[in-house]
Structure formats: structure tokens, C-alpha cells
Amino acid sequence: MTPEISISERLDAVRARIAAAAAAAGRPADEVTLVAVSKTHPPGAVAEALAGGQAIFGESRVQEARAKIPLVPGRARWHFIGHLQKNKIRHALPLFELLHGVDSLELARDIDRVAGETGAFPRILLEVNVAGEGTKFGFTPEQLRGQMEDVLALDRLNVDGLMCIPPPQPREEMARPFFSALRECRDRLQAEFGVPLPQLSMGMSGDFGAAIAEGATLVRVGSAIFGPRSGRTWKPTAENFDD
Ligand SMILES: *Cc1c(COP(=O)(O)O)cnc(C)c1O
């Protein structure tokens, strides 16, 4: 039987792989921020990663995050990495310091409006559908070019950069063209609209090395840190709520 590998050992291994990928690309390792994706995992797993020195955690469902975040001791920082539904914006804004997956002008407008009502100035990343898949969320690069002016006019929003979730590939190297497409999309938008878009959120457990080679500044890594996801979402038990 293989001995159980702890979360902090897995974290160390992921950090070492990030450092190696950055070094291979001639980039300083501190240009790449690790977002530990804790969706479906209990608060205790987050606490273990926090104790192992991890600062930032990613969640993709507002309801799960609302239940989990108060149960995590210490000061974890949280990023929202999922598809944000309009009716969840009000709950999401106070919980998350960065919204990774803003995938339409309509959603950006809704976030801006709610932020105006609550006094927030949300930091966001715009999700680009780099693979051109019809069913996926996100702006196509052409759409984003056409709508960027309107997004930038939303004065509550700070657009920090772009994000993508390319389809899984049989080999990691095959993901590189999607990641380079996101970087090139960012470079064009920066030049055309004269705005800094420093953040590129790209790369997950299976392909973060390739993403770092193409310029990722935020990698969203779940299963390589917390192990495989068994259930759908984490839910609090009655005992968690007896106060
Ligand atoms: C779940 C998820 C991840 C993490 O996936 P792993 O393959 O477990 O690393 C990253 N990004 C998004 C948007 C996700 O939903």
C-alpha cells in the first residue's frame, strides 16, 4: 500500500514544479501565483493547505464558498473561478478578492451595477473562449475586441487581465497553443486600448507547466494539491452549524 501523501507535501511538489516551469521559461518564480482550488473539499483541507503556507484559494460555486469560508480558521484569501450567476453577484462580492471568469459584457454590467449599490470596486478577469467551442462560456477574441471599450467604461470594475479554460488535451504540450492565444489576445488588447492587463489566469493540474511557459501569472490547481474530487460540492453538516 502506498502511504498517504499529505496536502502540504503535494503543495510542496506543485510549488517545485511551478518553480521549475518558470525557470525553464526564464521567468522569476514569483511572477506565478498559485491559486489552490478547494472546491468540493472541506474547510479542514483548506486549513491544512493554509498551515502549509498556501495563501489563496479558488472556489467555483458561491453557495459552497459562503458555507465554507466562515469555517476556515486564519486568513485565507479567496478567488472566484467559476461561472458567476447574476443572482449570486451580491453574495460573491464581499467574499472574493478576484473574479476570474467574467464571461460576457452582460455579466460585467451586472457586476458593475451591484458593485455600485454595495460600494465595492471588484477586480475581475475576462474569460476568453480560446478554443472557439460553441458550448463554452467566454468572449471569443473578436467579440472581446468589439466589446472591450464597453467593459472598460464600467467604472466600478478593475480589469486585471484575462482567463481561459481550454479543453483537456491528451498531452500537456498540446495545450500550449491555447495559452499562447490568450497571451496574444492580451497583448493586442493592451496595445489597442492602452490599458495594462497584467494577469493571465491559465493552467490547471494537468497543464500548468505549459501555461507558465506561455506566460501564466495565476495558475488554478486543485486535484494536484487536494487529491481527486469525489463528490459534487462540499456541504456543511448539522454539527458545523450548531452555533
Ligand atoms: C476545478 C477547476 C480548476 C482546478 O482543476 P484541477 O484539474 O483539479 O487542477 C481550475 N480552474 C477552474 C475554472 C476549475 O473549475
Pocket of ligand 1 from Cβ distances under 6 Å: 37, 39, 60, 81-82, 165, 204-206, 220-224
What is the per-residue pLDDT for 242?
Answer: 42
Ligand 1 centroid–CA 116 distance in Å is 30
H helices of the chain, where?
A: 7-24, 43-51, 62-68, 89-92, 105-118, 141-152, 176-193, 208-213, 223-226
What is the per-residue pLDDT for 238?
Answer: 56
What torsion, rounded to 10 degrees, do the Cα atoms 94, 100, 104, 108 define? 30
pLDDT by residue (tens digit) across 205-215?
A: 999 999 999 99
What is the per-residue pLDDT for 240?
Answer: 55
Q: Which atom of ligand 1 is nearest to the CA of 163?
A: 13
Report pTM.
Answer: 0.95
User: How far is 225 from 194, CA to CA, in rounded Å?
Assistant: 37
- Cβ-based neighbours of 3, under 8 Å, separated by 6 or more: none
Ligand 1 probe mutation, 10, 60, 99, 163, most atoms within 8 A of CB = 60
Low-confidence ranges of the chain (pLDDT < 50): 242-243
Q: Tell me whether residue 99 is exposed, middle or buried, using C-beta atoms within 10 angstroms of its C-beta: 0 to 12, 13 to 18, 19 or more.
A: buried
What is the per-residue pLDDT for 74?
Answer: 81
User: How far is 122 from 190, CA to CA, in rounded Å?
Assistant: 20
What is the per-residue pLDDT for 232?
Answer: 75
Q: Which atom of ligand 1 is nearest to the CA of 101?
A: 13
C-alpha cell at 60: 467555483
Q: Which atom of ligand 1 is nearest to the CA of 229?
A: 8
Report which DSSP code applies to 85: -
CA end-to-end distance (rounded Å), the chain: 40
Three-class DSSP category at 81 = coil
What is the per-residue pLDDT for 38?
Answer: 98
18 touches 32 (CB < 8 A)? yes
What is the per-residue pLDDT for 243?
Answer: 41
What is the per-residue pLDDT for 132?
Answer: 81
Q: Which atom of ligand 1 is nearest to the CA of 223?
A: 8
Three-class DSSP category at 175 = helix
Ligand 1 centroid–CA 44 distance in Å is 19
Name all domains of the chain by residue range, CATH numbers in brackets.
Answer: 7-224 (3.20.20.10)
